[in-house]
């Protein structure tokens, strides 16, 4: 029965009132999103598209809750390495009626996490006995500029939950206030479960609670064993359980031992002090003298809080003896400082100085993300100290003074928040939800019907994309990825490409080699079935192996920029050679003056011998008129023993010169292979040669590691070379048969 007094009472509840204010504030910017949660995407390119796709595909199409089959055909991937938020997929897979609304559910959870964050802070401040107005203003202020909203722009949806770190703070505070075992087990469960949202959350929260517990135990002078046992349950046991879970469930071996960027994606002072948006960006960049180097460490505190720190921090230092911090708050502060050091990459510097490696830490590339704890903890710690100081010095006016400071903080954050939310207008929340069949175009639904009728085994985008192995890559073109994910999701077919985190090197090599038509038997053949591949070819440039595959594809349909067809496995396994085939009966050098073809299998010099990537190593050089004009296929074998990203972080440079004119014509990254042999990768690219120029072919990189090359070949377009050295050793265009 309608009861006006109950509604009036609820509206006077500070939590209800703060929630309504927060909802009204965010509705001003995101009302269209709130009303279209299942029809919009924040973006449909790069990480955004990948993280939407892995999430919805795993819910609807993957046969196993732990094995993702959407990318990396025919191998698939463990769910944790896909950024698909396994915990959500575990639950939603059980309820088929939710599958058509999975995007809307994801968006709802992200924005709900924002809306409840001020309520969590209000609870924290209430436990610290703060005035209501100041508590509400500070709580909303922290939420507005939280770095997690920026993660939506980046497409990192698993990291976009604003409430997670504040919830952890609330659990830690409640445990030390009330000392209930149930809260300790809640912390353990919370930290463990969050590994299955994103491992960075699980590890970060586990470290945060572990250090907090240890520090509080030291402050309270607890006995060693009880103190360590609580820290172990709260912060160490979740890490151990996750490691055991991965050891048992992950069957994809051979991942790179060291991810790319683990010493680069870190924080620095400008990450906290300089925004990438808004009215104060240029001024603060000028004052600080630097702009944030990388977005992974972005944790801008807001000008309001920066000014308050400048004015209040000296007072907190001078009068620190008059401030009695609660042990839980002090423990969380020490934990956030500990994680702040991690975010600055101190562990990498220590490893470099002392000459050791901690592989468990080095697996996490973006340590800058641990700076988020400082963003959420520092305002709580600072305002508590200021309030204690005000009560000590100006007891009668302390409440009013704190309210004034909190409102100052809120006003500036609201002002900057307007720029924060408006800067991405027209960039995000403009794309249709392509995973909603009702929003597909007629041509897209027509093609889906064809795919399902033909019963293809997988979707082959041309160009292919392979991102995630750290060591090897293929191009990451937007259009093939966009089209292949649409048809893969709605048809349930996997994609012969990958865009994920830390894929197996062995699987990546085998998957890239799938297009190698010269090899008689490939590791992937045993995993393929007899059905055709559905091929999507866009207008982006293709590698030579992709061109060969397209040459034997049966064309079916095309529009202005895309062609579609079907490719049989049998045709893909037949050598695709040019009409002009030259045969070399032994592994000899073919100079370009005997034929318009150059072949140098090996030479007694660098880089054919062991070489260092930091040195410019000449593979070949020719004089003017040394190579006839025309289009050529450049290829060679690249050998390296190292299995980390730095071992391919160099390039083949094709430079041309004529008199004073000298410039680099082509730069070919060696991390972009076209195939693999026994212990080497095959680099193959098309280049243009003008006989009026002299040419240099050299290799250079920026890291200290060893490598060598062999089988340097320059063959005219339309000419294939077969090199026979024995019955069991034949090369077709530098690919082993």
Q: Are 262 and 367 in contact (CB under 8 A)?
A: yes
What does residue 291 show for φ and ψ, rounded to 5 degrees? -110, 150
Q: How far apart are CA 473 and CA 508, in angstroms?
A: 9
Those residues with Cβ within 8 angstroms of residue 94's Cβ, 6 or more apart along the chain or in another chain: none
Closest CA to 194 of 68, 112, 80, 272: 80
312-338 pLDDT per residue, tens: 998 888 888 888 888 999 999 999 999
Low-confidence ranges of the chain (pLDDT < 70): 1-11, 261-263, 352, 354-364, 587-595, 727
What does residue 8 show for φ and ψ, rounded to 5 degrees? -65, -40
Query: Please, which residues bridge with residue 714 across strands?
Result: 598, 634
Q: How far apart are CA 546 and CA 541, in angstroms?
A: 10
Closest CA to 458 of 394, 405, 511: 511
Q: How far apart are CA 656 and CA 520, in angstroms?
A: 38
Q: How far apart are CA 48 and CA 102, in angstroms?
A: 15
Closest CA to 488 of 46, 41, 56, 39: 56
532 secondary structure, DSSP code: P
Strands (E), 604-649: 611-612, 617-622, 630-639
Q: How far apart are CA 106 and CA 128, in angstroms?
A: 33
Domains defined for the chain, CATH in brackets: 440-572 (no CATH), 580-736 (2.60.120)
Q: How far apart are CA 552 and CA 531, in angstroms?
A: 15
Using left for φ > 0, alpha for ψ between -120 and 50, and beta otherwise, residue 428 falls in beta
The pair of structure tokens assigned to 143 is 């939420």
469 secondary structure, DSSP code: S
640-656 pLDDT per residue, tens: 988 888 888 899 999 99
- Exposed/middle/buried for 42, CB within 10 Å: 0-12, 13-18, 19+? buried
Looking at residue 359, what is its pLDDT? 62
Provide the b/e sequence for 200-228 (b: ≥16 CB within 10 Å): bbbbbbbbbbbbbbbbbbebeeeeeeebe
CB atoms within 10 A of CB 277: 18
Q: Are 467 and 260 in contact (CB under 8 A)?
A: no
The pair of structure tokens assigned to 471 is 């060591």
Looking at residue 93, what is its pLDDT? 96
Looking at residue 46, what is its pLDDT? 87
Q: What is the 3-state secondary structure (H, E, C) of 319-346?
A: CHHHCCCCHHHHHHHHHHHHHHHHHCCH
């Amino acid at each position: 029965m309608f009861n006006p007094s109950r509604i009036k009472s609820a509206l006077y509840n500070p939590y209800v009132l703060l929630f309504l204010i927060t909802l009204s504030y965010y509705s001003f910017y995101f009302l269209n999103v709130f009303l279209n949660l299942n029809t919009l995407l924040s973006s449909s390119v790069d990480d955004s598209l990948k993280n939407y796709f892995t999430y919805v595909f795993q819910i609807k199409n993957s046969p196993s809750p732990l094995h993702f089959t959407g990318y990396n055909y025919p191998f698939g991937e463990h769910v944790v390495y896909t950024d698909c938020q396994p915990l959500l997929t575990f639950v939603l897979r059980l309820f088929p009626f939710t599958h058509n609304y999975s995007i809307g559910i994801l968006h709802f959870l992200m924005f709900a996490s924002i809306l409840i964050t001020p309520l969590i802070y209000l609870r924290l401040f209430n436990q610290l006995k703060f005035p209501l107005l100041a508590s509400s203003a500070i709580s909303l202020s922290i939420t507005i500029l939280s770095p997690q909203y920026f993660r939506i722009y980046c497409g990192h949806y698993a990291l976009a939950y604003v409430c997670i770190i504040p919830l952890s703070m609330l659990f830690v505070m409640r445990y030390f206030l009330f000392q209930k075992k149930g809260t300790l087990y809640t912390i353990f469960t919370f930290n463990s479960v969050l590994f299955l949202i994103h491992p960075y959350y699980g590890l970060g929260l586990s470290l945060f609670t572990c250090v907090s517990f240890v520090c509080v135990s030291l402050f309270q002078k607890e006995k060693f064993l009880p103190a360590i046992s609580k820290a172990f349950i709260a912060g160490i046991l979740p890490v151990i359980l996750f490691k055991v879970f991965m050891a048992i469930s992950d069957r994809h071996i051979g991942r790179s031992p060291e991810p790319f960027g683990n010493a680069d994606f870190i924080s620095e002072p400008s990450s906290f002090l300089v925004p990438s948006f808004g009215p104060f960006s240029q001024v603060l960049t000028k004052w600080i003298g630097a702009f944030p180097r990388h977005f992974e460490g972005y944790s801008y505190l807001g000008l309001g809080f920066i000014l308050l720190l400048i004015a209040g921090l000296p007072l907190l230092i001078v009068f620190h003896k008059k401030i009695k911090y609660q042990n839980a708050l002090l423990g969380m502060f020490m934990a956030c400082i500990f994680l702040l050091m991690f975010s600055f990459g101190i562990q990498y510097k220590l490893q470099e100085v002392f000459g050791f490696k901690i592989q468990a830490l080095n697996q996490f590339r973006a340590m800058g993300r641990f700076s988020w704890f400082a963003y959420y903890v520092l305002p709580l710690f600072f305002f508590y100290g200021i309030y204690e100081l005000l009560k000590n010095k100006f007891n009668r006016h302390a409440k009013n003074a704190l309210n004034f400071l909190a409102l100052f903080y809120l006003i500036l954050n609201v002002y900057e928040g307007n720029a924060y939310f408006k800067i991405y207008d027209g960039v995000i929340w403009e794309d249709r939800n392509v995973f909603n069949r009702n929003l597909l175009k007629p041509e897209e639904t027509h093609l889906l019907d064809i795919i399902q009728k033909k019963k293809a085994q997988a979707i082959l985008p041309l160009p292919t994309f392979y991102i995630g192995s750290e060591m090897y890559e293929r191009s990451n073109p937007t259009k093939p990825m966009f089209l292949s994910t649409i048809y893969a999701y709605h048809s349930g077919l996997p994609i012969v490409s990958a865009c994920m985190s830390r894929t197996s090197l062995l699987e990546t090599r085998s998957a890239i080699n799938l297009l190698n038509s010269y090899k008689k038997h490939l590791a992937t053949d045993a995993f393929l079935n007899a059905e055709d591949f559905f091929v999507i070819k866009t207008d982006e440039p293709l590698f030579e192996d992709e061109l060969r595959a397209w040459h034997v594809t049966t064309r079916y349909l095309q529009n202005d920029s895309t062609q579609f067809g079907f490719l049989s496995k049998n045709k893909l396994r037949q050598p695709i050679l040019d009409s002009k085939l030259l045969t070399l009966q032994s592994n000899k050098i073919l100079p370009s003056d005997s034929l318009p073809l150059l072949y140098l299998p090996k030479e007694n010099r660098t880089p054919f011998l062991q070489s260092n990537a930091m040195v410019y190593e000449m593979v070949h050089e020719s004089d003017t008129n040394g190579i006839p004009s025309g289009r050529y296929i450049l290829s060679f074998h690249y050998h390296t023993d190292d299995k980390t990203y730095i071992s391919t972080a160099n390039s083949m440079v094709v430079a041309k010169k004529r008199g004073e004119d000298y410039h680099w014509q082509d730069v070919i990254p060696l991390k972009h292979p076209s195939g693999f042999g026994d212990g080497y990768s095959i680099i193959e690219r098309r280049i243009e040669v003008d006989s009026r120029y002299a040419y240099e072919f050299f290799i250079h990189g920026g890291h200290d590691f060893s490598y060598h090359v062999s089988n340097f070949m320059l063959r005219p377009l339309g000419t294939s070379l077969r090199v026979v050295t024995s019955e069991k050793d034949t090369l077709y265009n530098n690919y082993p048969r």
